[in-house]
Chain A
Amino acid sequence: MTLPSPPMSLLAELTHRCPLSCPYCSNPLELERKAAELDTATWRTVLEQAAELGVLQVHFSGGEPMARPDLVELVSVAQKLNLYSNLITSGILLDEPKLEALDRAGLDHVQLSFQDVTEAGAERIGGLKGAQQRKIEAARLIRASGIPMTLNFVVHRENVARIPEMFALARELGAGRVEIAHTQYYGWGLKNRDALLPSREQLQESTRAVEVERAKGGLSIDYVTPDYHADRPKPCMGGWGQRFVNVTPSGRVLPCHAAEIIPDVSFPNVKDVSLSEIWNASPLFNMFRGTDWMPEPCRSCERKERDWGGCRCQAMALTGNAANTDPVCSLSPFHDRVERAVTEASERPELLYRRF
């Protein structure tokens, strides 16, 4: 038997703790507490095993990874292992001494999140007073350090009209890259879907704004669309268990950060089993790997090795069966559930904030 090809990147979710409480947080609804978090030595082993397995880039994420006092040490371990290190941060806890320490440890790149360009919009989503100013100061420090920086904006119905201003802020702050990511509707995002999902017109307008900015040049732009308005699914994670591995704060190893909603399977933990054994041989990672698991209409579809049947977690959340075709696909018998969500999103419920 040949082994599956090794993962390219590791999402190391160091903690679920975070000073912000964004209602589209990508962490699971059931947040892991500080007491359950892996210790430094175990994270060190995870990084060693990841490099050995073939991981090229490690994304230190959370929650807010800067809430971990051992972040600098872990960046330095990554550097020694020749893993490209990326810090995904809100910037709230960043100051000059901490950034200098990360820089000295060999940090390769920072992805700094912004919730909006206006203070009111940012505070409404993040729930923290004064956050916007601290993020702007963080961006200036990162810029001054010379570490390459990507600004990340999650967009949704309330801020999507301000995409041109988001690009302007990125240029002003000297970011080389910008990620405009429409909210993905899992976990907290799914709970808040009716309040966040943009209209079709808003989506078209946002795509136009991105095209206009791309034409100007000088800024590298990543654009993630909301698949609810599509009729073919996204190739979620580049295929289940094909490119990407996620380790949660307590050490659970997942093919994507939302995978804990998949029922009837056990989630292996780095405290018990090595990363390579989990990647190569665990029932979880082999569950939807490749194309053998696919039902119709995926099985006979010419796109099956392009979109890999879409997203398993979306199939689970919207159809109750993770092995179904992603209902975003117009060929799915459950596609009407996605269409209905788009219509229902025109009502305006209150936001439900993430919390422990």
Chain B
Amino acid sequence: MTEAPPGIAEETVLSFARGHRLQHDRVRDLWIVQAPEKAFVIEGSAPHILRLLDGKRSVGDIIQQLANEFSAPREVIAKDVLALLSELTEKNVLHI
């Protein structure tokens, strides 16, 4: 199942909430999300997903682009993308 969680659909356009951003930590060679008074490491597919958030692309655009880039089934990609984006939206790292 790749059903979108409440509030996030394929046409939703998300961006980082103010005070949050994606950053490559070149000293440790890690991807991190900077947030108020903390920074957390993100791994796996998450940096690939988050670097496509530009306030213009919809969730569906991001899924499509990653499916093309990684030659992976759209369903598999969609599941990862929706899980990550809904979690970060719940945590107010991202907003609509």
The docked-state distance in angstroms from the alpha carbon of A169 to that of B37 is 21
Is the CB of B32 closer than 8 A to any CB of chain A? yes
Stretch in A38-46, A146-154, A224-232, A321-329 touching the partner:
A146-154
Residues on A lying within 8 angstroms of B by beta carbon are 5-6, 8, 52-54, 56-57, 59, 82, 84, 86, 108-109, 111, 146-148, 150, 176-177, 220, 222
Say whether A146 contacts B28, CB under 8 Å. Answer: no
Residues on B lying within 8 angstroms of A by beta carbon are 17-19, 21, 23, 25, 27-28, 32, 34, 36-39, 92
Name the CB-closest residue of A to B34.
A84
Given contacts A147-B18, A147-B19, contact A176 B36 (CB under 8 A): yes
Say whether B27 contacts A148, CB under 8 Å. Answer: no
Name the CB-closest residue of B to A54.
B27
Given contacts A146-B18, A147-B19, A176-B92, contact A8 B27 (CB under 8 A): no
The docked-state distance in angstroms from the alpha carbon of A82 to that of B25 is 10
The docked-state distance in angstroms from the alpha carbon of A111 to that of B38 is 13
The docked-state distance in angstroms from the alpha carbon of A84 to that of B37 is 9
Name the CB-closest residue of B to A83.
B34
Name the CB-closest residue of B to A150.
B36
A57-B39, A82-B23 given; name 11 further pairs at CB < 8 Å. Answer: A52-B27, A54-B28, A56-B32, A56-B34, A57-B34, A84-B21, A84-B34, A108-B36, A147-B19, A148-B36, A220-B36
The docked-state distance in angstroms from the alpha carbon of A82 to that of B26 is 11
State how many angstroms separate the Cβ of A23 from the closest Cβ of chain B. 25
* In the complex, chain A residues whose CB is within 8 Å of the CB of B34: 56-57, 84, 108
Name the CB-closest residue of A to B23.
A82
State how many angstroms separate the Cβ of B34 from the closest Cβ of chain A. 4
Say whether A177 contacts B36, CB under 8 Å. Answer: yes
* In the complex, chain B residues whose CB is within 8 Å of the CB of A8: 39
Given contacts A6-B27, A54-B25, contact A109 B19 (CB under 8 A): yes
Say whether B92 contacts A111, CB under 8 Å. Answer: no
State how many angstroms separate the Cβ of A139 from the closest Cβ of chain B. 15
User: Top 3 closest A-B pairs, CB basis?
Assistant: A148-B19, A54-B27, A84-B34
